[in-house]
Structure 1
């Protein structure tokens, strides 16, 4: 298991045409629940916490991409937070000359 949520791996929250939509909807819901539990533990929960509850019940084919974009933004910020606070390893792919990406990985 790898990534920000190793206990959820694998998770398909981005819709592709390979599987029925319900698969992606269920995985997005699992991811939203995991994020919600993290945010509830914070001393000053961000406003997105209120939105998460609605997204869990409202997620459908029409608004999935909107929710996905917001969640991707959160995952990016959360990963950087964990790396900055030494709570996740920095995993790098590529190099400076050709381009690279980094992501956080918790064990």
Structure 2
């Protein structure tokens, strides 16, 4: 989850959506908790590739894991997405203000 000492919002967005397969995984996890085998089946990607993207998402705080028997299920962490959404909202508000401000050239 993004905290004040974390990397900028741009870095978080890249970690969340910066790769088409990772973005697809995020969309799938927004619908339900899935294990790696489900994600492989849904995306057609190889297991090492899916595992890599899940690791990136987990390390960035966007995905949590839950063991269930022999399998590990993955789910999106809505609180982390909410923090990112607020950061993006703040960025949009600053951009609106910037539209009214122009630095003069020397």
Tell me which protein shows more helix as a share of its residues: 2
The verdict on a shared fold, with TM-score over 0.5 as the criterion, is: no
Give TM class, smaller chain.
0.3 to 0.5
TM-score scaled by structure 1?
0.33
